[in-house]
Amino acid sequence: MPVQDKYQELLTAATQAGVTDLKVNEENGVLHIEGVAPSGTVKDMLWATYDKIDPNYLSGDLVMNIYVDAAVPVTSALVTTETSNLNIRKGPGTDQAIVGKAAHHEIVTVISQTNELWWLIKTKDGEEGYAYAQYLTPQTEVN
């Protein structure tokens, strides 16, 4: 089965959810999907669909680079690690590649609270990915 056929449900979900600039390319048995999601919820839904097709993302035949539209309303959180930086991962899980780090006591943008364990965040340097929620403390808005 061609890899694109395997992930057709994910591609359909991305299109139906309004992912823009969607690019799909199959290379050496690996499907590459890129685009811009209209919200953090859509990005979370795409990861959930991916996990349904390939539980725990073990096949290694898909690279998904979906970012969230910069205009999405967000909140902020303080990185509350003991002393070290917080890993930012490509997807919601420790098995996902580290795509960046947030410094101890850095304020990050929370795009989506994916679930009680993983939140989709963006650093001041523009690094976007999932971080373990235990190390994030929501910040209240001061007027």
**Where are the domains positioned within the chain?**
3-68, 75-138
Radius of gyration over every alpha carbon of the chain, rounded to an integer in angstroms: 15
Superfamily covering domain 75-138: SH3 Domains (2.30.30.40)
pTM of the predicted protein model: 0.67
The CATH homologous superfamily of the domain defined by 3-68:
Beta Polymerase, domain 2 (3.30.460.10)
Mind listing the pLDDT tens digit for each residue in 2-35?
888 999 999 999 999 999 999 999 999 999 999 9
Tokens representing 99 are: 């795509």
Torsion of Cα atoms, 104 then 45 then 50 then 19, to 10°: -100
CA 121 to chain CA mean position, Å? 8
- Residue 143: predicted pLDDT: 40
Residues 53-91: pLDDT tens digits? 998 777 889 999 998 887 666 689 999 998 899 999 999
From the list 62, 79, 64, the residue with the least C-alpha distance to 27 is 62
- Check: CB of residue 21 under 8 Å from CB of residue 53: no
